[in-house]
């Protein structure tokens, strides 16, 4: 073997060796322990701290979804569903804050308050700052409402319509005469757009046209959505006063008419009485007959299509004969003044209590003395009725056990659409927080290795 051949073989061997060590397209870096003494504990602690921090941020920003929910009390819903909102900057949590929509109550809607007693019809909405109703400005087609407390409610007037024969046969079975009591009230709310005023009308008919004739001789419980003798004593007595004087005064009208016809005299067929707070002097004691003034029209059926109208001017000077004390002392025909007046005062007081007005100037239902006075004739009245049995209380206040008088602030009942945060399911939450954590931690690792050592 020649030297060159040996060299060549060596070279070939050398060449083969070099191809077995060729450069891979993949590489790895050589690691060396960091030369710092506290490095390991710092990294471990940092890892834990970052994991907790990231888990928390991920939980807040992606651990919750918003779900739609109905609520009757949006303030409570919003207060109870916050995601630790007070301690976390708003820009992180505003996506998961609970929120509720205001409700729009269009004109003509039926409303009731959270006292769940009477129902009302919304008739006018206006913003006093918008120029007032008279100016035609600020009149709104609907009430924007967000669980606001009703403030400064006043009853402007109470109207009673008495009618005979013109009601349905099943109403006639309860009572020959009927009465419809309408109470007109104005309230204010303070909302996001400032003060808004609105008018509501309450209509009360103890024997409404849709009542069945099969429930004769029982307490009907109409017009009131609920009652509770102990927790809502004032409204319980309000309902009793209204139904008692509805039944009593309609029976009085029946007697007055019967007395006339038996004497071959033309009799009252129907009438309307309009009670409004005294404009001549402020009377704050409801036992005073001059608390209200009364304008009225009674239609006297003279048969053969002839009618007479009885109005304040029929008795003399018009103004003088809108004073109830005058009408009472002269026992003007038809002598229904005292009973109708009590019915109007009962409606006035019940509406104010239902609207949550505890500071009302005067209210039969918030003053035990006045309530005692106005229920004094309950036993007598209870025996002078037709077939519509009033209730629930039929004896004088004080002889029957009931809760304390009083009322609480009222809000209108409505159903609000709310979006509330709901935590994702545990499995879902673990995965999403874990994935997000891994991404964040990887970024931190990368940043650490990039930093100059
Ligand atoms: C009605 O709501 C108001 C405001 O939330 C509350 O103060 C009052 O106690 C409630 N009244 C009743 C009878 O629930
Ligand atoms: C609200 O009712 C009062 C009294 O009934 C009335 O004077 C007022 O004009 C009503 N408001 C509107 C906007 O109609
Ligand atoms: C509910 O919240 C609204 C707006 O924050 C407020 O105007 C209203 O008075 C609150 N209602 C009650 C009952 O606290
Ligand atoms: C209610 O009446 C009081 C006293 O008159 C007044 O200060 C307050 O502004 C009124 N509130 C509203 C909402 O009108
Ligand atoms: C407030 O008033 C403005 C203009 O009058 C109206 O566009 C807006 O809908 C009102 N917002 C509420 C909550 O009533
Ligand atoms: C009346 O209210 C009281 C106290 O809230 C309650 O315990 C009671 O069950 C209520 N009664 C009725 C008949 O709902
Ligand atoms: C009955 O009618 C007569 C004649 O119209 C009248 O004098 C009398 O006062 C009336 N009685 C009652 C109780 O209304
Ligand atoms: C209300 O008037 C009646 C009868 O005039 C009287 O007995 C009562 O003391 C008065 N009440 C108040 C609070 O003035
Ligand atoms: C109760 O009846 C008596 C006798 O009829 C009467 O003098 C009194 O004014 C009546 N009281 C009420 C509140 O109706």
* HEC readout, 9-72: HHHHHHHHHHHHCCCCCCCCCCCCCCCCCCHHHHHHHHHHHHHHHHHHHHHHHHCEEEEEEEEC
Residue 223 phi, psi (nearest 5): 70, -30
d(C-alpha 332, C-alpha 256), whole Å:
12
Question: Could you tell me the two tokens for 121?
Answer: 């019809």
Q: How far is the CA of 228 from the CAs of 207, 234, 243, 273, 375, in angstroms?
A: 21, 9, 16, 31, 18
* pLDDT the model gives residue 352: 96
- If one residue of 255, 258, 261, 263 were mutated to test the ligand 7 pocket, choosing by the most ligand atoms within 8 A of its CB, it would be 263
CA of 434 to the centre of ligand 2 (A): 63
| Residue pLDDT tens, the chain, 453 long | 454 545 445 444 444 444 556 778 887 777 777 777 787 888 888 888 988 888 888 877 777 888 999 999 999 998 887 766 556 666 766 677 889 999 999 999 999 999 999 999 999 999 887 544 444 566 788 999 999 999 999 999 999 999 998 899 999 999 999 999 999 999 999 987 789 999 999 999 999 999 988 888 999 999 999 999 999 999 999 999 999 999 999 999 999 999 999 999 999 999 999 999 998 888 888 999 999 999 999 999 988 889 999 999 999 999 999 999 999 999 999 999 999 999 999 999 999 999 999 876 689 999 999 999 999 999 999 999 999 999 899 999 999 889 999 999 999 999 999 999 888 888 888 888 888 888 888 888 888 777 655
* pLDDT the model gives residue 421: 86
Please tell me whether residue 428 adopts helix, strand or coil conformation: helix
Q: How far is the CA of 448 from the CAs of 38, 47, 58, 440, in angstroms?
A: 15, 11, 22, 12
Task: Find out whether the beta carbon of 120 lies less than 6 Å from any atom of ligand 9.
Answer: no
Counting atoms of ligand 2 from 1, which one is nearest the CA of 199?
A: 1
Task: Find out whether the beta carbon of 374 lies less than 6 Å from any atom of ligand 9.
Answer: yes
Closest alpha carbon to 72 in 149, 151, 147: 147
CA of 189 to the centre of ligand 1 (A): 15
Q: Atom 14, ligand 2: which residue's CA is nearest?
A: 124
Residues 6+ apart with CB under 8 A from 179: 160, 161, 162, 163, 205, 206, 246, 249, 250, 343
In whole angstroms, how large is the CA radius of gyration of the chain? 40
Counting atoms of ligand 3 from 1, which one is nearest the CA of 73?
A: 13
- Ligand sitting nearest the alpha carbon of 189: 4
Q: Who lines ligand 4 at CB under 6 A?
A: 151-152, 188, 190, 195
* pLDDT the model gives residue 369: 93
Q: Who lines ligand 6 at CB under 6 A?
A: 228, 230-231
d(C-alpha 431, C-alpha 157), whole Å:
65
Task: Find out whether the beta carbon of 102 lies less than 6 Å from any atom of ligand 5.
Answer: yes
- pTM for this prediction: 0.86
- Work out whether the CA dihedral 79, 84, 88, 89 comes out positive or negative: negative
Q: How far is the CA of 393 from the CAs of 138, 277, 432, in angstroms?
A: 44, 28, 62
Q: Give the H/E segment covering residue 433.
A: helix 426-450
- Would you tell me how many other CB atoms lie within 10 Å of the CB of residue 332? 19
Q: Atom 7, ligand 4: which residue's CA is nearest?
A: 152
- If one residue of 245, 338, 377, 382 were mutated to test the ligand 9 pocket, choosing by the most ligand atoms within 8 A of its CB, it would be 377
Q: Give the H/E segment covering residue 85.
A: none
CA of 279 to the centre of ligand 5 (A): 36
Counting atoms of ligand 4 from 1, which one is nearest the CA of 128?
A: 14
* pLDDT the model gives residue 20: 57
Q: Where are the domains of the chain?
A: 109-382
* pLDDT the model gives residue 160: 98
């Amino acid at each position: 073997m020649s030297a060159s051949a040996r060299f060549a073989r060596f070279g070939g061997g050398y060449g083969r060796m070099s191809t077995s060590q060729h450069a891979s397209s993949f590489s790895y870096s050589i690691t060396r322990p960091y030369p710092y003494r506290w490095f390991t504990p710092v990294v471990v602690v940092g890892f834990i701290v970052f994991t907790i921090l990231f888990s928390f941020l991920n939980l807040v920003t992606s651990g919750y979804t918003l779900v739609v929910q109905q609520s009757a009390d949006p303030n409570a819903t919003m207060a109870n569903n916050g995601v630790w909102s007070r301690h976390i900057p708003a820009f992180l949590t505003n996506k998961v804050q609970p929120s509720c929509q205001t409700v729009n109550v269009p004109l003509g809607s039926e409303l009731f308050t959270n006292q769940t007693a009477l129902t009302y019809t919304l008739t006018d909405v206006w913003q006093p700052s918008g120029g007032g109703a008279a100016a035609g400005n600020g009149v709104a087609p609907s009430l924007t409402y967000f669980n606001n407390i009703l403030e400064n409610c006043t009853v402007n007037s109470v109207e009673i319509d008495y009618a005979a024969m013109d009601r349905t046969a099943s109403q006639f079975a309860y009572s020959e005469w009927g009465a419809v009591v309408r109470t007109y009230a104005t309230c204010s709310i303070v909302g996001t757009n400032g003060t808004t005023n609105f008018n509501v009308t309450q209509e009360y008919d103890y024997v409404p046209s849709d009542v069945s004739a099969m429930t004769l001789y029982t307490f009907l419980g109409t017009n009131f959505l609920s009652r509770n003798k102990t927790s809502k004593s004032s409204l319980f007595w309000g309902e009793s006063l209204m139904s008692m004087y509805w039944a009593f005064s309609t029976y009085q009208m029946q007697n007055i008419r019967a007395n006339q016809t038996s004497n071959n005299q033309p009799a009252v067929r129907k009438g309307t009485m309009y009670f409004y707070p005294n404009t001549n002097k402020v009377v704050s004691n409801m036992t005073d007959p001059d608390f209200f003034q009364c304008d009225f029209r009674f239609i006297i059926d003279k048969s053969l299509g002839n009618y007479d109208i009885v109005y304040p001017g029929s008795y003399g000077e018009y103004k003088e004969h809108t004073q109830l004390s005058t009408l009472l002392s002269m026992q003007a025909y038809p002598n229904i003044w005292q009973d109708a007046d009590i019915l109007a005062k009962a409606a006035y007081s019940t509406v104010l209590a239902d609207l949550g007005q505890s500071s009302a100037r005067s209210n039969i239902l918030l003053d035990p003395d006045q309530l005692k006075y106005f229920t004094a004739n309950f036993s007598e009245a209870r025996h002078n009725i037709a077939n519509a049995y009033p209730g629930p209380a039929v004896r004088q206040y004080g002889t029957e056990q009931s809760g304390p008088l009083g009322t609480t602030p009222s809000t209108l009942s409505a159903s609000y659409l709310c979006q509330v945060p709901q935590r994702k399911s545990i499995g879902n939450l673990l995965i999403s927080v874990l994935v997000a954590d891994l991404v964040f931690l990887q970024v931190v690792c990368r940043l650490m290795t990039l930093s100059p050592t």
